[in-house]
Each structure stands twice: as structure tokens, then as C-alpha cells.
């Protein structure tokens, strides 16, 4: 039998071939997942809707996912992320639609928490006290608001938004107080404080030990003007200390939960100054606020690495962990300057088709922002994308996420992975 020659050359070429093979497999191996690539920096998470939490297809509202798509969405969530946030089902309107102790609807929320526990996720609760998606009964009472002399006809429907089950946040025209929002006889300070206390004690108590982080108060700051707080029903009926009370009640209900104040447009220096003033005053009162939530609904135009670096540096002066809570990057021509989390204006901010060179600009924007997050990873502890892919995003027209509607990674995904692996995304 003819034996293969084992000359030094042949041994070398065999070795070279073997090394090449190893190299090739390394090259073609799947890129690391987001959660693995960033495990030494921060959690990388995603907001999930009811289709993913309950593994059911939804053909309602504006979330059209059939079962095959839902299964793929779920697989992607499990593969890429180690933290979850609820897009809607823990908001007051969905979890406590009717008044009183038996007015709760825990089904969808339980499914969300069970999904998180089953898949070993770091579970966030969103949100306890907000002027959006809060049913009117919460604010209603017998006290005529200032300037009102007699009882107007009952405010017809919930002005704060649709009640579609699992539906995405919708807000009636103008939302909030005064502009088509809640109007009419209102609760007293004591009544509303009691409702807030009972709601927080019940909801936070139910998921004690499972939900690790809570958005206790969402979007209390005003946009523009000199007032720190927006004139929400909470602020108008209880007063500015509604925020301190909410944190107090949440801490009472679960002393181990991380309590977060959450808001949008903190990339904007004016809004950021208001946040710093608010949090400093809460800290002086020893209110248990334990983390800053920066929604970060941004665009390919801004913020740049430098702008985000400056924003994070200023927020760090509060000495609290910073969480990026509702991250998405709009690449539609409309809204390139908008960082608002306001759905009312959202449609306008994703009009006009996509910016040119979309994929490259989105990849560069995401890479710049992740470089800033990594630079500040001593304080930036959680990054949560607001939706798993462009198909389910509330800003779908702006294609704002790392995965397309078919759950395929976009060049922006490679760019984000490349920030920590040094691997450059394949040329466009
Ligand atoms: C805000 C809310 C979120 C979500 C988004 C967009 O930022 O905090 O819960 O509703 O708007 O929909």
C-alpha cells in the first residue's frame, strides 16, 4: 500500500490548510450576539409587545405579525437580548383599566413577567405614574377644576388614549390636561394619592423580586418654557410632590427594586438641565430615586458621539446609574431633529421616506452612540431597544432598529458589534 509522503513540505502545507480551515470557520462563524458582545459593559435589552410575551399572532391596531413572524421575533429576542421591558401591558390603562381593587387585568402583564423569568431576562417594569395611557377614572372626582363653575357633560371616552388590548400607545389629540385630554370634575389630592398608593402597592407587590427595575414616574418634565414640570393631571391635582410620593410608595412595595425616573429628549441641554434640577431636589429630600432613564428616541442626524458623550457626562454628575430605556434611531427624512417620545407627533416625525444612504448613516449613528455608551459604562448599565425589529417599531417608517421586519440583521447591527470586537462591518 502506497503511504503518503511525510516530507517537511507536505507537513507544512497540511498545517497551513488546517490553519486556513480554522480561520475560515472563525470568519464565517456567526458574529457574537449583542448580549455576549457587551456582557462586560451593560445589559442589552428590548421592549416586547403582547405577541412575543404570549406567543400569539396579533392582526390588530398596527402590529401585524402572523405566527411564523412571531416565532421568529421570539427566537431573536432570546438569541440577542438579556433584558426586557414591556411596551404597553404594565401601563395603568392596560393593567388597571377599571376603578378599584377588582379593576385589574393582570393576564398580559403576568405573561410578560413569566416570559422574562423563563428566559432568564433582567426584567424591567414600565411604567407606574405617567400622564399618557392612564384611564380617566384615575383623575375623576367631584372637584370642579379652577375656573369651572358647573359640571360639564361627562368626558366621553378615555382621552388619554386607545384601550385596544395590547395596542400600541395612542393618545387622543393633544393628550394630557386641557388639550382634548382629561377634563371635568377631578379627584382631590387625597383621593388621587390614595389611588396612586393602592395601584403601586398592588402592581409592584405582585411582581416583587421578579421585576428588578421600575419606571416609577415617566415624562413629568415640561418641554420648553421655564417650568420644570409639565401641567399633567398628577401635577395639577396632587402638586409637584406627586413624584416624591410615587417613589416613596414604590420603595415601600419592593425595597430591593431599582427605582428609575424616565424621560425623553435628555440629549437636549435645556431639558437635561431641568432633569438635573429635578433629581437634585429629590436627592436633597432623600427620595429613593436610584437610576436615570433616558429614553433616547433619536435620529441618524443627532446626537453625534460628541453630543451623547457630553449628555452622559452631565447626567453622571447626579452620581446615579444611567439606563438608555427606549432606544431607536429614526432614519426617515421627517423628524431628524426630533427626540420626542410623543406618539401624537410621531407620525409626522417619520414622514418623507428614508434619508439617502440610509444603511450607512444608520450604521454610523449607532456606532457613534454605542462608543459613547461604552466610554461611560461605569454609569451606563442598561441599553433597551424600543422594539425587536423595524416591523413592530412604533417608528416603523423610520426603520429605526438593528433588525429589519424579517428579523435579519442590518449593517447597523454589524457596526454595533464592531464597536467592541473591532471587526469592521462588511463594506456597503
Ligand atoms: C413613550 C413611552 C413609551 C412608549 C413610547 C412610544 O416614550 O414612555 O411607553 O409609549 O412613548 O410609543
Q: What is the DSSP string of 122-161?
A: EEEEEEEE-SSS--GGGTEEEEPPTT--SPPSPP-S-TT-
C-alpha of residue 344 to centroid of ligand 1, in Å: 11
CB atoms within 10 A of CB 38: 22
Higher pLDDT, 245 or 20: 245
Residue 23 in domain: no
Q: How far, in Å, is the centroid of ligand 1 from the Cα of 168?
A: 9
> What is the rounded distance in angstroms from the CA atom of residue 68 to the CA atom of residue 96?
31
In whole angstroms, what is the distance from residue 66 CA to residue 84 CA? 22
Please report whether residue 16 resides in a domain.
Answer: no
Q: What is the CATH number of the domain that holds 99?
A: 3.20.20.80
User: Does any domain span residue 85?
Assistant: yes
Comparison of pLDDT for 183 and 279, the residue scoring more: 279
- Gap between the Cα atoms of 94 and 105, Å rounded: 7
Which residue owns the Cα nearest ligand 1 atom 11?
A: 341
User: β-pairing, 186-186 with 140-143?
Assistant: antiparallel
Query: Which residue range(s) make up the domain with 318?
Result: 31-421
Backbone φ and ψ of 408, nearest 5°? -90, 135
Whether 15 is covered by a domain: the verdict is no
What is the model's pLDDT at position 1?
A: 41
DSSP string across 36-78:
HHTTTT-EEEEEE-HHHHHT--EEETTEEE-HHHHHHHHHHHH
**pLDDT digits 0-9 by tens, 37-96:** 999 999 999 999 999 999 998 766 556 799 999 999 999 999 999 999 999 999 999 999
Nearest-atom index, ligand 1, CA of 215:
8
3 pLDDT band (50/70/90 cuts)? very low
Which residues form ligand 1's pocket by a CB distance below 6 Å? Answer: 126, 169, 218, 264, 295, 326, 341, 343, 394
Give the pLDDT confidence of 4-35 residue by residue, as tens digits. 455 666 766 776 666 656 555 555 577 899 99
pLDDT score recorded for residue 174: 43
Q: What is the mean pLDDT of residues 247-272?
A: 98
| pLDDT tens-place string over residues 182-208 | 788 999 999 999 999 999 999 999 999
The CA distance from 125 to 35, in Å, is 20
In-domain check, residue 26: no
Nearest CA to ligand 1 atom 5: 341
Whether 226 is covered by a domain: the verdict is: yes
- In total, the chain counts a number of residues equal to 428
Pick from 402, 374, 373: which is nearest to 389 by CA?
A: 402
Query: Active-site residues: which are they?
Result: 219, 326
Can you give the pLDDT at residue 355? 75
Residue 371 resides in a domain: yes
Residue 149 has pLDDT above 90, yes or no: no
Task: Domain count for the chain, please give it.
Answer: 1
Pocket test for ligand 1, best of 341, 344, 384 (most atoms within 8 A of CB): 341
Plot region of 335 (φ>0 → left; ψ -120 to 50 → alpha; else → beta): left
Counting from 1 in the atom list of ligand 1, the atom nearest the Cα of 126 is 9
Per-residue pLDDT at 248 exceeds 50: yes
Amino acid at each position: 500500500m502506497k503511504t503518503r509522503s511525510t516530507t517537511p513540505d507536505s507537513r507544512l502545507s497540511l498545517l497551513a490548510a488546517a490553519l486556513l480551515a480554522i480561520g475560515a470557520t472563525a470568519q464565517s462563524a456567526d458574529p457574537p450576539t449583542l448580549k455576549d458582545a457587551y456582557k462586560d459593559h451593560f445589559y442589552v435589552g428590548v421592549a416586547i409587545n403582547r405577541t412575543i410575551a404570549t406567543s400569539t399572532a396579533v392582526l390588530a391596531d398596527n402590529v401585524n405579525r402572523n405566527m411564523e413572524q412571531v416565532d421568529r421575533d421570539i427566537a431573536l429576542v432570546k438569541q440577542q437580548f438579556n433584558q426586557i421591558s414591556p411596551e404597553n401591558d404594565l401601563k395603568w390603562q392596560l393593567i388597571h383599566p377599571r376603578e378599584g381593587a377588582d379593576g385589574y387585568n393582570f393576564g398580559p402583564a403576568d405573561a410578560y413577567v413569566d416570559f422574562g423569568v423563563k428566559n432568564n431576562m433582567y426584567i424591567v417594569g414600565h411604567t407606574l405614574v405617567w400622564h399618557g395611557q392612564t384611564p380617566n377614572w384615575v383623575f375623576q372626582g367631584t372637584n370642579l377644576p379652577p375656573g369651572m363653575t358647573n359640571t360639564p357633560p361627562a368626558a366621553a371616552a378615555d382621552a388619554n388614549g386607545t384601550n385596544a388590548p395590547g395596542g400600541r400607545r395612542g393618545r387622543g389629540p393633544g393628550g394630557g390636561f386641557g388639550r382634548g385630554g382629561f377634563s371635568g370634575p377631578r379627584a382631590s389630592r387625597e383621593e388621587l394619592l390614595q389611588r396612586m398608593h393602592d395601584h403601586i402597592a398592588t402592581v409592584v407587590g405582585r411582581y416583587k423580586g421578579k421585576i428588578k427595575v421600575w419606571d416609577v414616574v415617566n415624562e413629568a418634565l415640561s418641554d420648553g418654557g421655564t417650568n420644570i414640570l409639565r401641567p399633567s393631571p398628577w401635577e395639577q391635582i396632587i402638586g409637584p410632590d406627586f413624584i416624591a410620593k410615587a417613589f416613596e410608595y414604590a420603595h415601600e412595595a419592593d425595597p430591593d427594586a431599582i427605582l428609575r425616573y424616565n424621560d425623553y429628549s435628555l440629549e437636549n441641554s435645556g431639558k437635561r438641565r431641568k432633569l438635573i434640577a429635578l433629581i437634585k431636589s429629590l436627592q436633597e429630600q432623600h427620595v429613593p430615586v436610584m437610576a436615570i432613564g433616558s429614553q433616547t428616541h433619536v435620529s441618524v442626524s443627532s446626537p453625534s458621539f460628541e453630543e451623547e458623550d457630553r449628555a452622559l457626562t452631565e447626567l453622571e454628575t447626579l452620581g446615579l446609574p444611567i439606563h438608555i430605556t427606549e432606544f431607536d434611531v429614526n432614519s426617515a427624512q421627517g423628524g431628524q431633529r426630533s427626540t420626542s417620545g410623543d406618539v401624537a407627533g410621531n407620525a409626522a416625525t417619520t414622514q418623507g421616506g428614508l434619508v439617502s444612504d440610509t444603511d450607512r448613516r444608520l450604521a454610523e449613528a449607532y456606532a457613534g452612540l454605542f462608543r459613547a455608551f461604552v466610554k461611560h459604562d461605569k454609569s451606563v448599565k442598561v441599553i433597551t431597544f424600543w422594539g425587536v425589529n423595524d416591523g413592530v417599531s412604533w417608528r416603523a417608517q423610520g426603520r429605526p432598529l438593528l433588525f429589519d421586519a424579517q428579523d435579519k440583521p442590518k449593517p447597523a447591527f454589524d457596526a454595533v458589534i464592531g464597536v467592541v470586537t473591532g471587526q469592521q462591518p462588511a463594506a456597503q
